[in-house]
Chain A
Amino acid sequence: MTLLRVEDVHKSYGDEEVLKGVSFEMDRGDVDVLMGPSGSGKSTMLRCINRLTEIDSGDVWLDGTPVYGPDTDVNELRQDVGMVFQDFNLFAHLTAVENITLGLKRVLGVPKAEARERAMEHLEQVGLAAQADSYPAELSGGQQQRVGIARALAMEPKLMLFDEPTSALDPELVGEVVEVMRDLAAGGMTMLVVSHEMGFARSAADDIHFLDSGTVVESGPPEQLFERPEHDRTRAFLTGLQAETHQ
């Protein structure tokens, strides 16, 4: 069953067209990865799904709801779409657990005690129950990102967006975040991930969409895209990426 449908999405910043008609679909439970060179429009595409960035034309449907429909309440829509940021963006003045309870309390109206209980469950899920009362600046990058994932999960979204979740991490901290993402994928969460983590893509992704200059050049399951890419641009990009990974 289709959960997300992106149809011919266009987006320009000034004179520069960043997305030139992007289309793809995801079923419930799918894990899709967006790859492509920097400036290819991956992050913009992701942000257009929860309207942190507004599209110029095209359509996005989430679980039958037109994301850009005139009657769509953007704040309600965003409760269904969790987002994990490259720079974590944890609320700096709140502890790990408070980062999670804030949305529960203010957006979903969950009572304080129950909010804390639910937040603790999600911290446990990402292996950080012991750090519940630490402030973001007291946590490592990997821990911060796991709190970021827990914060998004706590809203019980239908879809999770990951915007380069491991790019800002020291190499030795990437593993713990990827592991949490793999668990999520295995648990049936629908995930759209902008990432160059080949390991994650290979083991967890159903489909990979390769973007270049604002268009989807090709899509396919990882074994197909990685082993037998059809387009030269995909091949060139993957070769570069593999060379980098093996350094």
Chain B
Amino acid sequence: MLQAGDWAFVFANLDYLLAGAGITVGLTLTSLLLGFLTGFPAGAIEVYGDGILERVVSTGGVVLRGTPIVVIMLVLFFVVSISKSAFITATVGLGLRSAAYQSQIFRGALQSVDEGQMEAARSVGMSRFEAIRYVVVPQALRRSMPGFQNEFTIVLKDTSIAFAIGLAELLTRGNDLFTQSGRSTAVLEVFLTISAIYFVLTFATNRGLDRLSDYYAIPSGENR
């Protein structure tokens, strides 16, 4: 049950939780960045590439999407031990997993751009690369925004899985609080508080990304 004493305990430790939220935000950003820098080229390779490279990329994507994120993280940290830092390991795990999903967002967006755009670009003498770079990609990036927003939300909340490798992010810190002796009654208060923090983070950034989408939206005359 909710108790005033437990709420007081949570608020007394709010600084501690918010510092964890800071790590959560940091991990989200590094993971999404790694996911974008890897996932965007991967998506482009799946659309425009051929041969071995295309097969390697698409197989890698299938494996990453088919493995539970907890398993990815535990393997990276305890089996492969890519780094002593839990933060770096979590970034790589979440980043690669996100790359596998982002590649599909970009693949779909690239494929959705009408073939005529490519033809028109080629017909004025642009190379295939120039046509992709200056005509297809700018349109595909805009179309990938809804999918990317989704991915952002998922990665933000999945940072909590870094709990499994002991990273002191928001969920881990919440856990630290109610596992102190005599504080087990505060479980619900702690979870409600960290849930609220996750909600504020997702809500605020989604609004921000909505703005960004609107700003870069292509005017159509109809929505003026």
A binding-site residues for B, Cβ under 8 Å = 50, 52, 75-76, 78-79, 81-83, 85, 87, 89-93, 102-103, 106-107, 134-135, 137-138, 148, 151-152, 155
Contacts and interface: CB of A to CB of B under 8 A. Distances in A.
B224 to A, nearest CB: 8
A89 B142 contact: no
A78 B218 contact: no
Nearest to B223: A137
Interface of B: 114, 116-117, 119-127, 130, 134-135, 138-139, 142, 218-222, 224
B135 A103 contact: no
Contact of A106 (B126, B139, B222, B224): B126
Contacts of B221: 135, 137-138
Contact of B117 (A78, A91, A138): A91
Nearest to A81: B123
B125 A138 contact: no
A52 B123 contact: yes
A44 B138 CA distance: 29
Contacts, number: 77
B220 A137 contact: yes
Centre residue among B114, B116, B139 by max chain A CB count within 10 A = B116
A91 B135 contact: yes
Contacts of B114: 89
Given A76-B125, A83-B120, 11 more contacts: A52-B122, A52-B123, A78-B124, A92-B139, A93-B142, A93-B218, A102-B134, A106-B130, A137-B218, A137-B219, A138-B221
Given A92-B117, A137-B219, A83 B123 contact: yes
Contacts of A134: 219
**Chain A to chain B: the 5 pairs with minimum beta-carbon distance, closest first:** A103-B124, A89-B120, A137-B220, A89-B116, A138-B221
Contact of B126 (A52, A103, A135, A152): A103
B220 A151 contact: no
B220 A138 contact: yes
B172 to A, nearest CB: 43
B121 A91 contact: yes
Contacts of B119: 52, 85, 89
Contacts of B120: 83, 85, 89-91, 148, 151
Given A85-B120, A87-B116, A91-B117, A135 B220 contact: yes
